[in-house]
Amino acid sequence: MIRINSLSRRFGSFEAVKNVSLEVPAGSFMVLVGPSGCGKSTMLRMLAGLETPTRGTIEFNGKTVSDGDGNWTIEPAKRNAGLVFQSYALWPHMTVAGNVDWPLKVAGQGKQERADRVREVLNLLGIENLGNRFPNEISGGQQQRVAIARMIAPRPGILLFDEPLSNLDAKLRVEMRSELLRIHRATSATSVYVTHDQVEAMTMASHVAVLNEGRIEQFGSPSELVAEPSSAFVATFVGTPPANLVDADLIPPGHPLRKGNRTGRLMFRPEDISVCSGPGPASIEMDFAEISPLAGRSMITGTKNGLRLTAVTDGDFRFSVGDKVHFLLPLQPAACFDNEGKRV
C-alpha cells in the first residue's frame, strides 16, 4: 500500500530524514518509533502531504504522491489518507457531529448520506450520545475519539497518527490503544502510527520501523526486533526492559567471554542475568539503583561508571540505594556488536 524510495528531507543544513526506503503492506499497522528528533514526525508529515521531500518518492497503492527530485507533492485532501495530530484540532464552534460531518460536506456528499455516515462512525467510536455537544464540553479522551471519527468518516485507505495518545493519562492511553486497533481492523485501512513510546509501539504494531538520527535502524515485526536486533541502538531501545550492552573489556577477568572479546559490545538479556549480594568469578560489581516488581519477578538495576545493567530475576531482594550488588553474566551473550554498533 505504501512504498517509500530513497526519501530525504532537509531543512537548511539539517537533514531530518536521510535516504529512507521501506514498503508497508496493505492492511498493516506500521509504527514509526524512535527518540525525540529522530525524524519520525517529519516522515509522517511527508506521508500526509504536509511536507515535500527533498529527494526520493512516496507511492500510495502504486501511485506516486510525492516526488522530491521533481519538487512536487499531491495535496493532502487528494491522497485518500486521514491524519490525527497530537493536538486534536477540533473546530471549537462546531458540535461533535458537525466536526465529523465537515470533511464529508467538503467532499460533496449529500445531506442524508452524511448524516448516516456521521451516526455510523460515532457509534463505532462509542460517542453516539455526544453528537450535540461542543469540544469544550467533553473530556480529552472523548475529544480524541471525535478526532478519530472525523478522520475515518470519509473512508480513507490510509490512516496516519502523530502521537495521538500522548496527551492522555496512563490508564486512558492503555484503553485507547485497544480502541485504535479495533478501529484499524474495522476500517481495513493501512495505518502508520508515530510514537516515541516503545511499549506503545511493540504492543500495537504489526510492523515497526525504528528510526535514529533520520535513518531506519531496523524494520520488522515486534518479535523480530526483540529477538534479533540488527544494531546496538535497537537492542537498547526496544523490549521491556531493553537488553543490556557491556563493553567487552568490562567483562570480569575470570569470565570465559573475556578471551577474544576485547573490542565491541556484548548483549545480555535481563532475564539471563542473575543478582547476588557477594562477588563471583563472572560477576560485575555495581551500585544498586532501583528495584521494581515485574510480572511476579524482580527487575533490579545497578549503575557504575556510566554502565547500567538491569536483571529480571526471582527472589526477595532488600537492597538500599548505593549498596554493592553483583550481576552474574551468562557464559554466552545473546548478540555481539562492533564499536560502530553494527551486529557481528
Q: Report all structural domains of the chain as residue ranges with CATH numbers, in order of start.
A: 2-237 (3.40.50.300), 244-337 (2.40.50.140)
Exposure pattern of 271-301 as b/e (b: 16+ CB <10 Å)? ebbbbeeeebebbbebebbebeeeeeebbbb
Residue 208 vs residues 220, 260, 283: alpha-carbon distances, Å: 5, 34, 35
Per-residue confidence (pLDDT) for residue 165, from 0 to 100: 85
- pLDDT for residue 146 is more than 70: yes
Mean pLDDT across 62-74: 95
- pLDDT for residue 253 is more than 80: no
Per-residue confidence (pLDDT) for residue 219, from 0 to 100: 96
339, with CB counted inside 10 A (0-12, 13-18, 19+), is exposed
Per-residue confidence (pLDDT) for residue 32, from 0 to 100: 95
Per-residue confidence (pLDDT) for residue 316, from 0 to 100: 80
Question: CA-to-CA distance for 14 and 66, rounded, in angstroms?
Answer: 20
Give the residue carrying C-alpha cell 577474544. Answer: 260
Mean pLDDT across 105-118: 94
- pLDDT for residue 278 is more than 90: no
Whole-number mean pLDDT of the chain?
91
Per-residue confidence (pLDDT) for residue 261, from 0 to 100: 60
Model confidence pLDDT, tens digit, residues 167-178 = 788 888 888 898
What confidence category does residue 262 fall into, taking pLDDT thresholds of 50, 70 and 90? low
First to last CA, the chain: 33
Per-residue confidence (pLDDT) for residue 286, from 0 to 100: 92
Query: Nearest-5° angle of CA 257, CA 258, CA 261?
Result: 85
Per-residue confidence (pLDDT) for residue 263, from 0 to 100: 64
What confidence category does residue 260 fall into, taking pLDDT thresholds of 50, 70 and 90? low
Q: Which three cell numbers stand for residue 153?
A: 468518516
Per-residue confidence (pLDDT) for residue 196, from 0 to 100: 87
Give how far the C-alpha of residue 20 lies from the chain's centroid of Cα atoms, to the nearest Å. 17
